[in-house]
Amino acid sequence: MLENGAETYRVEDTIEHICRATNIKSVNTFATPTGIFICIQTPNDEYHTTIKRVTKRTTNLSKVYHVNNISRQFVLQEISITQALSSLEELSHTHSLNILFSIFVTGVCSGFFALLLGGALWDGMIATFCGGFIRLVAIILYNKDISGFLVNLVSGSITAMIAILFSEILKVGHIDKIIIGSIMPLLPGIAITGAIRDTIYGDLVSGTSRGVEALLIAISIASGVGIVLRVWLFLQGGL
Protein backbone atom coordinates (compact mmCIF):
# COMPACT_ATOMS: atom_id res chain seq x y z
CA MET A 1 0.00 0.00 0.00
CA LEU A 2 2.77 2.40 0.93
CA GLU A 3 4.41 1.80 -2.41
CA ASN A 4 1.26 2.92 -4.12
CA GLY A 5 0.68 6.23 -2.42
CA ALA A 6 -1.56 5.56 0.59
CA GLU A 7 -1.13 7.69 3.70
CA THR A 8 0.83 6.08 6.51
CA TYR A 9 -2.02 6.32 9.01
CA ARG A 10 -4.16 4.25 6.65
CA VAL A 11 -1.48 1.56 6.55
CA GLU A 12 -1.14 1.48 10.34
CA ASP A 13 -4.92 1.41 10.72
CA THR A 14 -5.27 -1.48 8.31
CA ILE A 15 -2.61 -3.52 10.09
CA GLU A 16 -4.20 -2.92 13.48
CA HIS A 17 -7.67 -3.82 12.26
CA ILE A 18 -6.46 -7.03 10.65
CA CYS A 19 -4.61 -8.05 13.78
CA ARG A 20 -7.61 -7.35 15.96
CA ALA A 21 -9.73 -9.59 13.72
CA THR A 22 -7.41 -12.51 14.46
CA ASN A 23 -6.61 -13.85 17.92
CA ILE A 24 -3.61 -11.64 18.62
CA LYS A 25 -3.29 -10.03 22.03
CA SER A 26 -1.81 -6.68 21.12
CA VAL A 27 -0.13 -5.06 18.18
CA ASN A 28 2.08 -2.06 17.64
CA THR A 29 2.85 -0.68 14.24
CA PHE A 30 4.96 2.16 13.03
CA ALA A 31 4.84 3.05 9.35
CA THR A 32 6.94 5.61 7.54
CA PRO A 33 7.17 6.21 3.78
CA THR A 34 10.36 4.16 3.72
CA GLY A 35 9.54 1.24 5.98
CA ILE A 36 6.97 -0.53 8.17
CA PHE A 37 7.65 -1.94 11.65
CA ILE A 38 5.19 -4.35 13.22
CA CYS A 39 5.41 -5.94 16.66
CA ILE A 40 2.72 -8.41 17.71
CA GLN A 41 2.05 -10.23 20.98
CA THR A 42 0.64 -13.73 20.58
CA PRO A 43 -1.87 -15.23 23.07
CA ASN A 44 0.94 -17.16 24.80
CA ASP A 45 2.94 -13.99 25.41
CA GLU A 46 5.49 -14.35 22.67
CA TYR A 47 6.61 -11.29 20.79
CA HIS A 48 7.21 -11.27 17.07
CA THR A 49 8.67 -8.30 15.28
CA THR A 50 9.01 -7.79 11.60
CA ILE A 51 10.39 -4.94 9.53
CA LYS A 52 9.42 -4.34 5.95
CA ARG A 53 11.52 -1.95 3.92
CA VAL A 54 9.73 0.12 1.26
CA THR A 55 12.14 1.02 -1.51
CA LYS A 56 10.12 2.27 -4.44
CA ARG A 57 7.22 4.67 -4.23
CA THR A 58 4.77 5.16 -7.05
CA THR A 59 1.11 6.08 -7.20
CA ASN A 60 -1.42 3.42 -8.02
CA LEU A 61 -4.72 4.39 -6.45
CA SER A 62 -6.64 1.35 -7.58
CA LYS A 63 -4.28 -0.92 -5.61
CA VAL A 64 -4.88 1.19 -2.51
CA TYR A 65 -8.60 0.86 -3.09
CA HIS A 66 -8.54 -2.90 -3.61
CA VAL A 67 -6.28 -3.63 -0.63
CA ASN A 68 -8.55 -1.45 1.48
CA ASN A 69 -11.57 -3.43 0.30
CA ILE A 70 -9.98 -6.81 0.94
CA SER A 71 -8.91 -5.88 4.47
CA ARG A 72 -12.36 -4.46 5.22
CA GLN A 73 -14.04 -7.66 4.07
CA PHE A 74 -11.60 -9.71 6.11
CA VAL A 75 -12.23 -7.68 9.26
CA LEU A 76 -15.99 -8.03 8.79
CA GLN A 77 -15.30 -11.78 8.36
CA GLU A 78 -16.93 -11.91 4.96
CA ILE A 79 -13.90 -13.74 3.58
CA SER A 80 -11.45 -16.14 5.22
CA ILE A 81 -7.73 -15.54 5.57
CA THR A 82 -6.86 -17.89 2.69
CA GLN A 83 -9.28 -16.07 0.39
CA ALA A 84 -7.84 -12.74 1.45
CA LEU A 85 -4.28 -13.90 0.83
CA SER A 86 -5.11 -15.34 -2.57
CA SER A 87 -6.86 -12.16 -3.68
CA LEU A 88 -3.89 -10.10 -2.46
CA GLU A 89 -1.59 -12.40 -4.40
CA GLU A 90 -3.73 -11.91 -7.49
CA LEU A 91 -3.64 -8.14 -6.98
CA SER A 92 0.15 -8.03 -6.79
CA HIS A 93 0.36 -9.69 -10.20
CA THR A 94 -1.90 -7.17 -11.93
CA HIS A 95 0.48 -5.07 -13.94
CA SER A 96 0.38 -1.31 -13.75
CA LEU A 97 -0.38 0.89 -16.74
CA ASN A 98 0.59 -0.13 -20.23
CA ILE A 99 3.60 2.02 -21.22
CA LEU A 100 2.10 3.36 -24.45
CA PHE A 101 -1.17 4.17 -22.73
CA SER A 102 0.63 5.93 -19.92
CA ILE A 103 2.64 8.05 -22.39
CA PHE A 104 -0.53 8.97 -24.25
CA VAL A 105 -2.42 9.82 -21.08
CA THR A 106 0.40 11.94 -19.66
CA GLY A 107 0.70 13.80 -22.93
CA VAL A 108 -3.00 14.58 -23.20
CA CYS A 109 -3.00 15.61 -19.57
CA SER A 110 -0.17 18.11 -20.19
CA GLY A 111 -2.02 19.42 -23.22
CA PHE A 112 -5.19 20.12 -21.26
CA PHE A 113 -3.20 21.86 -18.53
CA ALA A 114 -1.62 24.13 -21.12
CA LEU A 115 -5.09 24.98 -22.42
CA LEU A 116 -6.43 25.44 -18.91
CA LEU A 117 -3.74 28.01 -18.14
CA GLY A 118 -4.88 30.12 -21.07
CA GLY A 119 -2.77 28.66 -23.87
CA ALA A 120 -3.89 28.59 -27.49
CA LEU A 121 -4.63 25.38 -29.37
CA TRP A 122 -1.05 25.18 -30.62
CA ASP A 123 0.30 25.35 -27.09
CA GLY A 124 -1.94 22.46 -26.12
CA MET A 125 -0.73 20.32 -29.01
CA ILE A 126 2.94 21.03 -28.38
CA ALA A 127 2.52 20.40 -24.66
CA THR A 128 0.80 17.10 -25.47
CA PHE A 129 3.78 16.01 -27.54
CA CYS A 130 6.24 17.30 -24.96
CA GLY A 131 4.45 15.70 -22.00
CA GLY A 132 4.33 12.33 -23.75
CA PHE A 133 7.97 12.56 -24.75
CA ILE A 134 9.27 13.35 -21.26
CA ARG A 135 7.15 10.54 -19.88
CA LEU A 136 8.88 8.16 -22.30
CA VAL A 137 12.28 9.49 -21.25
CA ALA A 138 11.36 9.17 -17.57
CA ILE A 139 10.26 5.56 -18.02
CA ILE A 140 13.50 4.68 -19.82
CA LEU A 141 15.61 6.38 -17.14
CA TYR A 142 13.71 4.75 -14.26
CA ASN A 143 14.28 1.34 -15.85
CA LYS A 144 18.01 2.08 -15.74
CA ASP A 145 17.76 2.68 -11.96
CA ILE A 146 18.63 6.35 -12.10
CA SER A 147 17.63 8.40 -9.05
CA GLY A 148 14.39 10.33 -9.09
CA PHE A 149 16.18 13.63 -8.63
CA LEU A 150 18.18 13.21 -11.83
CA VAL A 151 15.14 11.98 -13.76
CA ASN A 152 13.19 15.11 -12.82
CA LEU A 153 16.16 17.31 -13.67
CA VAL A 154 16.49 15.73 -17.12
CA SER A 155 12.71 15.87 -17.72
CA GLY A 156 12.70 19.55 -16.83
CA SER A 157 15.56 20.34 -19.21
CA ILE A 158 14.02 18.38 -22.07
CA THR A 159 10.74 20.26 -21.53
CA ALA A 160 12.54 23.57 -21.75
CA MET A 161 14.45 22.47 -24.86
CA ILE A 162 11.29 21.42 -26.69
CA ALA A 163 9.49 24.61 -25.65
CA ILE A 164 12.40 26.77 -26.87
CA LEU A 165 12.60 24.81 -30.11
CA PHE A 166 8.95 25.41 -30.92
CA SER A 167 8.33 28.88 -29.57
CA GLU A 168 11.62 30.65 -30.29
CA ILE A 169 12.94 28.88 -33.38
CA LEU A 170 9.77 27.74 -35.14
CA LYS A 171 7.77 30.69 -33.76
CA VAL A 172 4.65 28.76 -32.77
CA GLY A 173 3.18 28.74 -29.29
CA HIS A 174 4.01 30.47 -26.03
CA ILE A 175 7.05 29.23 -24.18
CA ASP A 176 5.60 29.68 -20.68
CA LYS A 177 2.31 27.88 -21.40
CA ILE A 178 4.09 24.92 -22.96
CA ILE A 179 6.55 24.55 -20.09
CA ILE A 180 3.97 24.91 -17.34
CA GLY A 181 1.60 22.47 -19.02
CA SER A 182 4.30 19.87 -19.51
CA ILE A 183 5.71 20.04 -15.99
CA MET A 184 2.28 19.78 -14.33
CA PRO A 185 2.24 15.95 -14.32
CA LEU A 186 5.72 15.93 -12.75
CA LEU A 187 4.85 18.27 -9.88
CA PRO A 188 4.64 16.75 -6.40
CA GLY A 189 0.91 17.23 -5.83
CA ILE A 190 0.55 13.81 -4.23
CA ALA A 191 3.57 14.27 -2.03
CA ILE A 192 2.17 17.57 -0.72
CA THR A 193 -1.29 16.18 0.06
CA GLY A 194 0.26 13.06 1.58
CA ALA A 195 2.59 15.14 3.73
CA ILE A 196 -0.23 17.30 5.08
CA ARG A 197 -2.56 14.42 5.80
CA ASP A 198 0.21 12.48 7.54
CA THR A 199 1.18 15.49 9.64
CA ILE A 200 -2.33 16.20 10.91
CA TYR A 201 -2.76 12.57 11.85
CA GLY A 202 0.28 12.93 14.06
CA ASP A 203 2.72 10.99 11.89
CA LEU A 204 5.30 13.73 12.08
CA VAL A 205 8.14 11.58 10.77
CA SER A 206 6.35 10.58 7.59
CA GLY A 207 4.87 14.05 7.22
CA THR A 208 8.25 15.75 7.18
CA SER A 209 9.86 13.10 4.99
CA ARG A 210 7.13 13.46 2.38
CA GLY A 211 7.40 17.23 2.65
CA VAL A 212 11.12 17.04 1.93
CA GLU A 213 10.38 14.72 -0.98
CA ALA A 214 7.93 17.29 -2.41
CA LEU A 215 10.40 20.13 -1.99
CA LEU A 216 13.18 18.16 -3.63
CA ILE A 217 11.02 17.24 -6.63
CA ALA A 218 9.97 20.88 -7.10
CA ILE A 219 13.56 22.11 -6.88
CA SER A 220 14.86 19.48 -9.30
CA ILE A 221 12.21 20.29 -11.93
CA ALA A 222 12.77 24.03 -11.57
CA SER A 223 16.53 23.70 -11.88
CA GLY A 224 16.19 21.44 -14.92
CA VAL A 225 14.06 24.03 -16.69
CA GLY A 226 16.18 26.87 -15.35
CA ILE A 227 19.52 25.56 -16.58
CA VAL A 228 18.30 25.22 -20.16
CA LEU A 229 16.58 28.62 -20.21
CA ARG A 230 19.69 30.24 -18.78
CA VAL A 231 21.87 28.68 -21.46
CA TRP A 232 19.40 29.82 -24.13
CA LEU A 233 19.43 33.39 -22.82
CA PHE A 234 23.21 33.28 -22.75
CA LEU A 235 23.39 32.06 -26.34
CA GLN A 236 21.15 34.90 -27.42
CA GLY A 237 23.69 37.28 -25.98
CA GLY A 238 21.28 38.54 -23.34
CA LEU A 239 22.26 39.25 -19.74
Query: Which residues 174-213 are close enough to bind other proteins by CB under 8 A?
Result: 176, 179-180, 183-185, 187, 189-190, 192-197, 199-202
Distance CA 182, CA 108 (A): 10
Q: What are the CA-CA distances from residue 92 to residues 9, 95, 97, 184, 210 (Å)?
A: 21, 8, 13, 29, 24
Stretch of 3-11, 22-30, 78-86, 137-145 lying at the interface with other proteins (CB under 8 A):
3-11
Residue 6 binding other proteins, by CB under 8 A: yes
Nearer to other proteins, 42 or 90 (CB): 90
Binding other proteins by CB under 8 A: which of 115, 125, 126, 134?
A: 115
Residue 112 binding other proteins, by CB under 8 A: yes
Residue 222 binding other proteins, by CB under 8 A: yes
Binding other proteins by CB under 8 A: which of 113, 174, 209, 220?
A: 113
Binding other proteins by CB under 8 A: which of 22, 26, 62, 208?
A: 62
